[in-house]
């Protein structure tokens, strides 16, 4: 018990001593605190005397400096840098420009404008390799043999990384414009804007590829007829379609053909190569000025909600359609874009069937087409279930029957025609047994 209380006493006493020492230093910090208040206070630099003059040093490991008046924009230092910490942009003035780039101290005529010469000292490894290839000796490590150019900068730490990225270029925007660098300024301002958006967490919204394609197709179809250029066909997804359309356009444009003749030639060329598709058709219609017709059709579309897809019998179809609808509705997509995206999504998941097709057509506002398609439903849609052929015991006969069924379905044959083909094929293969014949007759009776 005595040791227990003794330990408590020793602990409190040591705690109080430490706390008293801290309070004492806080009251008399100017006299008692030995820490130098860096960077506001610095120790004086001692005299350096190691037996020879500073100018005799071969290499000084200090920060880099650039005399921009002597830089000719040759990019030799940028290529030599092993860590890629030097970034240089150059602009060659056009022939009709009156800008004078200047002359270096060595008498070299400068032929390029350097709008950017950035060195990131946070990445620099102080290897001095960028100094040696410079033909004008404009980049160097400060201090040492370059003491007459720039004093030793042995302390250049910063609180943020930006403070260690040095920009040496002195070209103004007016000089850049005079040299024909308008495009350079646009790209530079665009990069700054993107960086600012990134800092404010305004990055580009992620859009699934299938939705992007639907938007691209719809926007190309609803666009008004504008000036026709080879870029007008850049929205085509298929590489062959895009290449052939641009090639035909450039060929006929040189010959002086009108836009209507060019579009007609592109259509016939794509049809001849079996590359004509719905996307091509919509694009050609929009480029020919037929966008107004598409917009008039879209006005008759009924109001689209997630409940519009509740009539789908298949649970997966219904769920995927509603999920895609809600996602695109939040993004502000139009009804046409939503229907196209749902169609593409269901096709990709192999869930597209006649019921989905009829529903999408009706939701798009073309009720006449829906009735017509209902009247002309191919008989292959009412075929008997292929699973009924699983009752055939013989493995070879069963496989052959299913193969005939699949082929006949593609050819839009009726159930009776399929059963006749199965019966004749099995008979020719000597696989038509009593069991198989009974199954065929049962299927025929159930039709």
Q: What is the pLDDT of residues 352-389, one digit of tens each?
A: 888 888 888 888 765 444 434 444 444 444 677 887 88
Domain boundary among 186, 209, 243: 186
Residues 272 and 179 in one domain: no
Residue 207 lies in a domain: no
pLDDT in the model for residue 130? 94
Contact 188, 209 (CB under 8 A): no
Residue 394 lies in a domain: yes
Pick the residue with more confidence: 337 or 216?
Answer: 337
Residue 338 lies in a domain: no
Q: Read off the tokens for 340.
A: 């196209």
Percent of the chain clearing pLDDT 70 (strictly above):
83
pLDDT in the model for residue 214? 59
**350: phi > 0 → left, psi -120 to 50 → alpha, else beta; which?**
left
DSSP, collapsed to helix, strand or coil, labels residue 285 as helix
Range(s) of the domain holding residue 146: 59-186
Residue 370 lies in a domain: no
Highest mean pLDDT among 169-178, 230-239, 333-342: 169-178
Residues 16 and 123 in one domain: no
Domain boundary among 158, 186, 214: 186
Domain count, the chain: 4
Query: Would the pTM of this model clear 0.75, i.e. be above it?
Result: no
Length of the chain: 447
pLDDT digits (tens, 9 = 90+) for 52-96: 566 655 556 788 999 999 999 999 999 999 999 999 999 999 887
Residues 177 and 262 in one domain: no
Residue 170 lies in a domain: yes
Q: What is the DSSP letter of 114?
A: E
Residues 170 and 99 in one domain: yes
Residue 318 lies in a domain: no
pLDDT in the model for residue 80? 95
pLDDT in the model for residue 24? 87
Residue 430 lies in a domain: yes
* pLDDT interval class at 332 (50, 70, 90): confident
Residues 165 and 86 in one domain: yes
Residue 129 lies in a domain: yes
d(CA 320, CA 328): 12
User: Does the pLDDT of residue 275 top 90, yes or no?
Assistant: no
Mean pLDDT along residues 255-284: 84
Residues 83 and 141 in one domain: yes
pLDDT digits (tens, 9 = 90+) for 288-329: 765 444 444 444 445 788 778 888 888 888 888 888 888 888
Residues 167 and 98 in one domain: yes
d(CA 176, CA 270): 45
Q: What is the DSSP letter of 232?
A: G
């Amino acid at each position: 018990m005595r040791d227990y209380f003794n330990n408590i006493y020793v602990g409190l006493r040591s705690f109080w001593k430490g706390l008293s020492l801290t309070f004492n230093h806080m009251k008399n910090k100017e006299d008692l605190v030995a820490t130098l208040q860096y960077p506001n206070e610095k120790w004086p630099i001692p005299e350096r005397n190691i037996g020879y003059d500073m100018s005799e040093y071969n290499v000084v490991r200090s920060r880099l400096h650039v005399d921009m008046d002597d830089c000719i924009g040759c990019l030799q230092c940028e290529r030599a840098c092993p860590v890629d910490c030097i970034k240089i942009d150059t602009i060659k003035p056009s022939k009709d420009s009156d800008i004078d780039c200047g002359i270096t101290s060595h008498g070299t005529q400068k032929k390029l404008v350097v709008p950017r010469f950035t060195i990131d000292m946070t990445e620099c490894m102080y290897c001095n390799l960028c100094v040696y290839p410079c033909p004008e000796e404009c980049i160097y490590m400060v201090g040492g043999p370059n003491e007459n150019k720039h004093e030793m900068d042995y302390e250049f730490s910063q609180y943020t990384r930006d403070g260690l990225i040095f920009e040496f270029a002195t070209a103004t925007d007016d000089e850049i414009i005079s040299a024909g660098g308008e495009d350079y300024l646009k790209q530079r301002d665009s990069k700054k804007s993107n960086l600012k958006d990134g800092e404010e967490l305004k990055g580009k919204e992620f859009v699934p590829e299938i939705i992007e394609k639907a938007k691209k197709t719809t926007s190309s179809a609803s666009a008004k007829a504008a000036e026709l250029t080879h870029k007008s066909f850049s929205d085509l997804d298929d590489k062959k379609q895009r290449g052939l359309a641009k090639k035909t356009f450039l060929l006929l444009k040189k010959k002086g053909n009108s836009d209507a003749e060019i579009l007609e030639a592109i259509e016939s060329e794509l049809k001849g190569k079996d590359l004509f598709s719905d996307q091509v058709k919509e694009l050609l219609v929009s480029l020919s000025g037929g966008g107004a017709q598409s917009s008039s059709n879209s006005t008759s579309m009924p109001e689209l909600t997630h409940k519009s897809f509740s009539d789908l019998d298949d649970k997966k179809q219904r769920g995927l359609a509603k999920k895609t609808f809600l996602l695109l509705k939040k993004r502000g997509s139009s009804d046409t874009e939503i229907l196209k995206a749902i169609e593409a999504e269901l096709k990709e998941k192999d869930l597209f069937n006649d019921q989905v097709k009829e529903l999408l057509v009706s939701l798009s506002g073309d009720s006449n087409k829906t009735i017509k398609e209902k009247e002309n439903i191919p008989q292959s849609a009412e075929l008997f279930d292929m699973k009924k052929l699983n009752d055939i015991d013989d493995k070879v006969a069963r496989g052959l029957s299913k193969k005939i069924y699949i082929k006949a379905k593609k050819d839009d044959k009726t159930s009776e025609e399929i059963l006749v083909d199965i019966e004749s094929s099995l008979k020719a293969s000597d696989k038509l047994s009593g069991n198989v014949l009974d199954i065929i007759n049962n299927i025929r009776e159930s039709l």
